């Protein structure tokens, strides 16, 4: 069994939201801007959940 990840990637955002790759990357960029991160900085599952309002446990279950 793969351990839970703490980072989220564009492919994960695509699978969770059903959005295109371009939109998924845009969402991650919006999170970076909101958190004051630089281009290329990693986004955590917690940050993604706080930004989108999606329940963290649902996302964690989805990433298993």
pLDDT per residue as tens digits for the range 23-56: 999 999 999 999 999 999 999 999 999 999 999 9
Is 14 a domain residue? yes
Domain membership flag for residue 1 = no
The structure tokens 């986004």 sit at 43
pLDDT band at 22 (very low <50, low <70, confident <90, very high): very high
Q: Is 13 inside any structural domain?
A: yes
Q: Is 41 helix (H, G, I), strand (E, B) or coil?
A: coil
Domain that holds residue 28: 7-62
Q: Is residue 2 part of a domain?
A: no
48 inside domain:
yes
Structurally, the chain folds into a number of domains equal to: 1
For position 3, what pLDDT does the model report? 55
Global pTM reads 0.87
Phi, psi torsion values for 39, nearest 5 degrees: -60, 130
Establish if 33 belongs to a structural domain: yes
Query: Which single residue is written with the structure tokens 């998924």?
Result: 24
């Amino acid at each position: 069994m793969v351990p839970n990840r703490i980072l989220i990637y564009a492919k994960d955002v695509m699978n969770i939201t059903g959005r295109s790759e371009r939109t998924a990357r845009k969402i991650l960029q919006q999170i970076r801007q909101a958190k004051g991160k630089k281009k290329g900085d990693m986004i955590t599952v917690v940050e993604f959940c706080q930004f989108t309002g999606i329940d963290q446990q649902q996302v964690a279950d989805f990433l298993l």
